[in-house]
Structure 1
Amino acid sequence: MNYTYLDCLAIFGVGGAHPRGLQLTKEFLSREKIDETKSILDAGCGTGQTSAYIAEQYQCNVTSLDCNKIMLEKARQRFSSLHLPIEVRHGSTENLPFDEGSFDIILSESVIAFTDVSLTIPEFKRVLKPNGVLLAIEMVLEKSLSKDEMKPIVNFYGVSQLLTENEWYHFFKRANFKQVSVEKFKLDFDEHDVRNVPDFSLSENIDDEFYEILEKHLHLTTVYKGLLGFRLFRCCI
């Protein structure tokens, strides 16, 4: 079998694959004006860790969308066990199954890079309400690399391209987001802090190949440390 990195995340049920995980998400959500009247889309929700937090913390309307059925089933199990009325939808960010102007906030955590960026970003813009906000955490190139230098990362993660901060910015502006702010954050964190413990929802009978994929991921993050970073893009209509 030729499993992918995203298959690996689904089988291990990784709750927050981006650096600093849920703690970082809590930090930037706390800056937004969120109450029970807001409608939020967690695009690429994975196992639903962030969706569950938002629903519990803010008592607002949360919709969770993912293209991976294994992830969605784990999300449904999480929401059911917590008795949370979160709508779960199977679908692609490149062609969202929602009407125009459906959401006040869209949260996208390490998702857009794994899709056709030129399709996903305009779709996010389409389903946001007037004055809506897109919060996107994305991998960025800290400096330009040749195609040969990028090849191991592109092939392993299954992304179509790697973008610099400036290239990401122009994609968001091209989709007619009026304001785009960019925040760089430190990737260092205290691994002994219980708030930073990774969230997992393991499948049964995990194939050895998935452990090999996980090891390759750790290897690549070491090799490309300093060349790959992350940014929080806050995009307003």
Structure 2
Amino acid sequence: MESTYLNCLALFGVGGAHPGGLNLTKRILSKEKIDGSSKILDVGCGTGQTSAYIAKEYGSHVTALDNNKIMLEKAGRRFQSMNLPIEIRHGSAENLPFENHTFDFILSESVTAFTDVSKTVPEFKRVLKPNGVLLAVEMVRDKDISGQQMKEILDFYGVKQLLSEQEWRSAFQKAGFEQIEMEKVELQPDIQQVGVSNDYSLSKQIHPSFYEIFEKHHHLSIVYKDILACGKFRCTV
């Protein structure tokens, strides 16, 4: 398996890898009108922490999608152990395997930035129902940076772009989202250290190189703490 940041998250089975973790997710969802009739897509569901919370807390119809089969296997075990009727789908955010106007809500927690935003955001718009809501927690470039700094971030995280707040807004607007709200999320670099999170689903064999990736992520989050911000976006169709 290639030694990448995303594969590292899969092998460690990190639940709530996005800044703020599940506590932030709970706060975001508490402000929405979600009930048992809501159809919700958790894009890049990972090990299924958010999907499981929504299904248990709200009784909603939840679909958990990820393009990493290791993550989906771990999510499936979580759902089965909790006896939750969550639909699991393998697929890409850039080409969602759903019909138009399927979902009331889409959650993207540190996912969209790892895709081609120009393809993924229009897909979100396509599968949302009229008046549907996109809730996205994403990496934001808070300041101008050098080419060398940009390359280090893009290469390590495997992201295709590092967007500013205005560039994110433009992407949402271009896709047809009519109302876009953004709130900064305070980053706390130490929450992603190995052993700190209480939601891990470790694979049986993890090469030492993946521990090094985890530590480098922690290092970069400190080095670039004044450059890499996190934005909570709420976009409505």
TM-score (norm 2): 0.95
Specify the alignment match of 1:224 in structure 2.
224
Deviation at 1:236, TM superposition (A): 0.1
- Are 1:79 and 2:79 counterparts? yes
Report if the CA contact (8 A) 1:10-1:46 is conserved: yes
3-state DSSP of counterpart to 2:133: strand
Letter in structure 1 aligned against 2:229: G
Report if the CA contact (8 A) 2:189-2:221 is conserved: no
Deviation at 1:2, TM superposition (A): 3.6
Letter in structure 2 aligned against 1:103: F
1:1-12 paired onto structure 2 within 5 Å:
2-12=2-12
Report if the CA contact (8 A) 1:185-1:230 is conserved: yes
Specify the alignment match of 2:100 in structure 1.
100
3-state DSSP of counterpart to 1:94: coil
Specify the alignment match of 1:154 in structure 2.
154
What is the alpha-carbon distance in structure 2 between the residues aligned to residue 183 and residue 146 of structure 1? 25
1:104-143 paired onto structure 2 within 5 Å:
104-143=104-143
Specify the alignment match of 1:180 in structure 2.
180
Specify the alignment match of 1:88 in structure 2.
88
1:158-173 paired onto structure 2 within 5 Å:
158-173=158-173
Deviation at 1:205, TM superposition (A): 1.5
Specify the alignment match of 1:53 in structure 2.
53
What is the alpha-carbon distance in structure 2 between the residues aligned to residue 104 and residue 56 of structure 1? 18
3-state DSSP of counterpart to 2:104: strand
What is the alpha-carbon distance in structure 1 between the residues aligned to residue 35 and residue 98 of structure 2? 22
What is the alpha-carbon distance in structure 1 between the residues aligned to residue 69 and residue 108 of structure 2? 18
- Are 1:66 and 2:66 counterparts? yes
Letter in structure 2 aligned against 1:94: E
Calculate the aligned-residue CA RMSD, in Å: 1.5
Deviations along 1:59-80, one digit per CA (max 9) or x if unpaired, are: 0100000000000000000000
Letter in structure 1 aligned against 2:206: I
- Are 1:22 and 2:22 counterparts? yes
Report if the CA contact (8 A) 1:40-1:62 is conserved: yes
Report if the CA contact (8 A) 2:10-2:68 is conserved: yes
Letter in structure 1 aligned against 2:180: V
What is the alpha-carbon distance in structure 1 between the residues aligned to residue 204 and residue 218 of structure 2? 23
The change in CA–CA distance for 1:190 and 1:215 in structure 2 (over 3 A counts) is: closer
Deviation at 1:198, TM superposition (A): 3.8
What is the alpha-carbon distance in structure 2 between the residues aligned to residue 205 and residue 146 of structure 1? 38
Letter in structure 1 aligned against 2:167: E
Letter in structure 2 aligned against 1:51: S
Task: Count matched residues.
Answer: 233
Specify the alignment match of 2:211 in structure 1.
211
What is the alpha-carbon distance in structure 2 between the residues aligned to residue 35 and residue 75 of structure 1? 22
What is the alpha-carbon distance in structure 2 between the residues aligned to residue 149 and residue 42 of structure 1? 31
TM-score (norm 1): 0.95
Letter in structure 2 aligned against 1:178: E
The change in CA–CA distance for 1:219 and 1:197 in structure 2 (over 3 A counts) is: closer
Deviation at 1:177, TM superposition (A): 0.2
Report if the CA contact (8 A) 2:20-2:185 is conserved: no
What percentage of residue pairs aligned between the two structures are identical?
63
Deviation at 1:187, TM superposition (A): 2.6
Letter in structure 2 aligned against 1:3: S
